[in-house]
Amino acid sequence: MGTWNSRGLRGSTLEEMINRTNEKYREKGLALIQKVPTPITPIKIDKTHHQITLAYFDQKSTVDYIGAVQGIPVCFDAKECDVKTFPLQNVHEHQVKFMEDFEKQGGKAFLIIYYTSEQKFYYLHIRQLLIFWNRAKEGGRKSFRMEELDPVYFFDTDKGYLVPYLEPLSYDLETESEG
């Protein structure tokens, strides 16, 4: 099994928090969101411990989560950042393309970023991500700073939910329909 220092387990704390939140959302009938497994092919297996010790990814993954919230299709990826500047290299081009295509089909696509040093969550909708993404593609900054983000989309653990992302999603839906 990997260690906490291994690259493959980065974000596992955030994902566990989101998984627990998703369970509560499902229990309350608010949303049905599932973790998308990353398809792998095992190469070496430690038969004594029944653990995969070496594997490769079958294909590029899309996003971490997919499902529906009150009849609205949603997909999102979870990212952790330990500084106030988020490197865009943490998001892959195929993920951005998938999220763009998902939105074209009437769904909502976003990132949940957990700024660990600040202990704050951020809901980054695909529209905002594309602004930063396109800026980088045109030779601009390959990252974005917390100060560049709309403060209304920051959120904290609240009301018994570890990662209550339905609140910023709801606000996003309201403001999108107004504009």
Annotated binding-site residue? 175: no
Is 58 assigned a ligand-binding role in the annotation?
Answer: no
What is the full DSSP assignment across 67-123?
Answer: EEETTEEEEEEEEEESSSEEEGGGS-HHHHHHHHHHHHTT-EEEEEEEETTTTEEEE
Q: Measured between alpha carbons, how far is residue 109 from residues 14, 123, 137, 147, 173 in Å?
A: 18, 10, 20, 22, 11
SS3 34: strand
Asked if 75 and 33 touch (Cβ cutoff 8 Å), the reply is: no
Tell me which DSSP letter residue 138 carries: T
Distance of CA 170 to the CA centre of its chain: 17
Candidates 128, 131, 140, 132; CA nearest to 172 is 128
Contact 63, 37 (CB under 8 A): no
d(CA 5, CA 121): 22
Residue 116 counted as an annotated binding residue: no
Q: Answer yes or no: is 156 a known binding residue.
A: no
Residues making up the annotated binding site for Mg(2+) are 62, 64, 77, 95
